[in-house]
Amino acid sequence: MDMHENGAYHSERKALKQSNGLGDLDASGASHEELFEIERSVRNVQNCHDEEQLKLICVSLVRQNFHQSKLLSQAVGGSGN
């Protein structure tokens, strides 16, 4: 990683820490590339002014969260309820 990439990485980390407490995201083992991709996606949403597109994103996230919660609960031995 050159100095420019390193500076950009630290800038992205600072932005992640300031946004919704996700600064510990890389504690899960996320690579620098994955962190950049997450931040790129977040910025795309923040810059979107198309209400219908934002609704579609929200609907997808709600459904995804529900299914991931069920799977996680089942994986740790819960009933998934």
Cα of first residue to Cα of last residue in the chain, in angstroms, is 45
Query: What per-residue confidence (pLDDT) applies to 3?
Result: 47
Q: Is 9 exposed, middle or buried, given 0-12, 13-18 or 19+ CB atoms closer than 10 A?
A: middle
3-7, 19-23, 36-40 — most confident range: 36-40
Under the banding of pLDDT at 50, 70 and 90, the label for residue 23 is low
Residue 60 has pLDDT above 50, yes or no: yes
Under the banding of pLDDT at 50, 70 and 90, the label for residue 29 is confident
What average pLDDT score do residues 50-54 get? 97
